[in-house]
Amino acid sequence: MCGICGFSGDMANYLGENNLREMLDIIIHRGPDDEGTYFKNNTALGMRRLSIIDLKSGHQPIHNEEKDIGVGMTFKDDEISTLLSGDLYALWLKDMKNDKYLNSFYHMPQWKDEVSQMLYFDQKVWLPKDVLIKSDKMTMANSIELRVPFLDYRIVEFASSIPSSLKYRGNNEKYILKKAFKDTLPSFVLNRKKNGFPVPLSSLLNLEFKNFAKDILLSQKSLSRGYFNKQYIENLFKKYNSTSYKGRQIWLLLTFELWNRIFIDSSNASLDEEMSVI
């Protein structure tokens, strides 16, 4: 989870770095591990980072090999336009424009503060559409029952009534929760650094696995689907290195292709048979 804030136009010169710093302090809960600022061409951006991937090389502000600034994206819009085939790209544009679910959050009622609004967005989008669905699928696939006690509806309702000033204070996240358990939990637990659940892409995409991914994505079976442009995928492997965000693109495309082979192509075949082919 990371955070971004900023302003543009004349406001960038008028408000300046001090106001940007205050905005970064407000969203420290979104990324306590690193921060950075960017001022250029009447644009001021502040970024915070929670280290989940690229643990050693990732810093804010995030940029790609061309030094473009970005945050929280696997494919930029111009990359999507060259990756997807013409028909699929047209469908993507239509879907993005008509996404009433996400667009509705840009017109939410006024909240008492920005933190409450961001937490509400996380509850409605990030938790059910990302974190919870992934953890549920992975645990159930391994016959493990996962429970999330902090998401008991009574705790959620109570937490929503607590002022934001008690949820974080200065650089101290979960302030009131830590206060409540200060006599129960040891200090190394209460004060330890927040960690995500990283996918070690730089380790996974070693030479052997990279060649495996390349063979899969550039195979006739994959290309015949007509989803992606061959030249983009070829360039993807040429540009990849262990510190590149291209690794995330390769991983995403690879898992999508393997999903197609297992669940779409193999509708009349057993899962074990298809996995043996892969």
- Per residue, the 3-state secondary structure of 97-123, as one string, reads HCCHHHHHHHHCCCCCCHHHHHHHHHH
Least confident of 60-69, 109-118, 210-219, 252-261: 60-69
> For 155-166, what is each residue's pLDDT tens digit?
999 988 888 888
pLDDT of residue 219: 95
Instruction: Specify whether the backbone of 31 is left (phi greater than 0), alpha (psi in -120 to 50) or beta.
Output: beta
> For 208-264, what is each residue's pLDDT tens digit?
788 899 999 999 999 999 999 999 999 988 887 655 667 888 989 999 999 999 888
Mean of the pLDDT values across residues 137-154?
91
Q: Which of these three, 163, 190, 217, is where a domain ends? A: 190
| Mean pLDDT taken over the chain | 77
Task: Return the structure tokens found at 154.
Answer: 């009574």
Is the predicted pLDDT of residue 104 greater than 80, yes or no? no
- Give the DSSP H/E element, type plus range, for residue 40: strand 34-40
pLDDT of residue 209: 82
Choose from 25-34, 60-69, 149-158 the range with maximum mean pLDDT.
149-158
Mean of the pLDDT values across residues 188-199?
76
CA torsion angle for 37, 39, 42, 43 (degrees, to 10)? -30
The verdict on 150 and 184 lying in the same domain is yes
47 φ/ψ angles, rounded to the nearest 5 degrees = -130, 140
**170 found inside a domain:** yes
CATH of the domain at 52: 3.60.20.10
Total count of domains within the chain: 3
Q: In terms of residue numbers, what domain contains 226?
A: 201-277
pLDDT of residue 129: 83
pLDDT of residue 65: 46
Peptide bond between residue 61 and the one before it cis (omega within 30 degrees of 0): yes
The verdict on 206 and 269 lying in the same domain is yes
Q: How far apart are CA 133 and CA 147, in angstroms?
A: 12
The verdict on 209 and 268 lying in the same domain is yes
| Cα 223 → chain centroid | 27
pLDDT of residue 62: 52
Confidence at 111, pLDDT banded by 50, 70, 90: low
Q: How far apart are CA 58 and CA 247, in angstroms?
A: 13
Strands 3-8 and 43-49: antiparallel
> For 217-231, what is each residue's pLDDT tens digit?
999 999 999 999 999
Q: In this predicted model, which residue has the larger pLDDT, 4 or 196?
A: 4
The verdict on 55 and 124 lying in the same domain is no
Is the predicted pLDDT of residue 71 greater than 50, yes or no? no
Least confident of 10-14, 73-77, 268-272: 268-272
pLDDT of residue 268: 52
The verdict on 176 and 133 lying in the same domain is yes
Distances 55 to 75, 115, 195, 201, 202 between C-alpha atoms, Å: 20, 26, 10, 11, 10
